[in-house]
Amino acid sequence: METRVLEIRKSVLNKNDELARKLRTRFETAGVLVLNLVSSPGAGKTEFLQKVLTDLHHSGVRVAALVGDLETDNDARRLMASGAPVRQITTHGCCHLDAGMIERHLQGWELGELDILFIENVGNLVCPSNYDLGEAVRVALLSVTEGEDKPLKYPGMFNSADVALITKIDLAEACEFDRETAMANLHAVRPDMRIFEISSKKGTGMVEWLDYLADIQRSIKQDRATGEERKSLVAAGE
């Protein structure tokens, strides 16, 4: 029975990875930057994302979001206040989003009309780490209210992330949060990880985060332009 369970799990993950690769190709072809936000429940994903969507949308960046939750559309309705297109993915008990869910909920959206797509994953520090969604950047959020040891307790999640956000940093002193220890723990599971200290309420770190997104967007546009130039040269026989 145990061997059978492992075989099924491997099959499911292989199927997900295959679809995620196809999604990644679609995203890259469309030139859209896709970020997958992962964290435990209550780490501040929705508040952070609402702030980011609002700032980007008002500055003319074409943004959208997919929001995963076990039940309710509460988070999607909160994010819609930003003015950006938002769709809720209700998993009905499933502890993570998978590539199939992303593909289905993209229907009707023209990816070429987006600059950035955010995916707010289900609040869970275990299951989402195993499921590639085709994203370019996986962002792990760690709230100061959770303690400094979360990266060591859940190394799979933080090791699979490209960037970490330490959220609710305005509460660090009240929570007796040891910033240096948290940084060391993050780097212990993912050396040289880029870390941002964020307060959605106070706006701390938001400028640095938006600059980071802009840098990635410029890189994507340059890579796409280089690819188009290469195709033109090949077509011309040069």
Q: Tell me if 93 is assigned to some domain.
A: yes
Number of domains in the chain: 1
pLDDT at position 58 is 97
| Backbone angles phi and psi of 146, in degrees to 5 | -90, -20
Q: Tell me if 1 is assigned to some domain.
A: no
Q: Tell me if 224 is assigned to some domain.
A: no
Q: What is the pLDDT of residues 32-59, one digit of tens each?
A: 999 999 999 999 999 999 999 999 999 9
DSSP letter at 103 equals H
Q: Tell me if 232 is assigned to some domain.
A: no
pLDDT at position 1 is 46
183 pLDDT more than 70: yes
User: What distances in angstroms separate CA 227 from CA 10, 18, 183, one per listed residue?
Assistant: 34, 23, 37
Distance of CA 9 to the CA centre of its chain: 23
**pTM score:** 0.90
Q: Is there a contact between 139 and 161 (Cβ–Cβ < 8 Å)?
A: yes
Q: Tell me if 228 is assigned to some domain.
A: no
Q: Where is 118: in which H helix or E strand?
A: strand 116-120
CATH, residue 170: 3.40.50.300
pLDDT at position 232 is 61
What is the side-by-side strand order in the sheet with 86-90? 86-90, 63-69, 116-120, 33-38, 137-143, 163-167, 194-197
Expressed as residue numbers, the domain containing 87 is 13-211
Q: Tell me if 4 is assigned to some domain.
A: no
Q: Tell me if 233 is assigned to some domain.
A: no
Q: Tell me if 229 is assigned to some domain.
A: no
Q: Where is 66: in which H helix or E strand?
A: strand 63-69
